[in-house]
Structure 1
Amino acid sequence: MSQVSRRVSVRTLDRDEWAIHRQVRLAALDTNPEAFGATLVSQQLLDEADWRRRVDDRSWFAFLDTEPVGMVRLWYDPCTKPVPEVIALWVAPPARRAGVARQLMLTAVGTAQRLAGCADLWVSLDNTAARGLYQSLGFQPTGSTQSTSDGRPEMHMRLPRR
Structure 2
Amino acid sequence: MWATAAHQDTLAAPGTANRGRLRAAPDGIDVYFDHVGGEQLRAGGDAMLIGELAERTGTTTRALRYYEEQGLLESARTPAGYRVYGPAAVTRVRDVRDLLASGFTVEDVKSFVRHLDTDLLEVFTYSQARADAYAVGAHRVAELEERIATLTRVRDILVRRMPWPAAPGGAPEQCAT
Q: Same fold (TM over 0.5)?
A: no
> In proportion to residue count, which structure has more strand?
1
Question: What band does the TM-score fall into relative to the shorter chain?
Answer: under 0.3
> In proportion to residue count, which structure has more helix?
2
Q: TM-score under structure 2 normalisation?
A: 0.24
Higher relative CO (Cα under 8 Å, sequence separation at least 6) belongs to 1
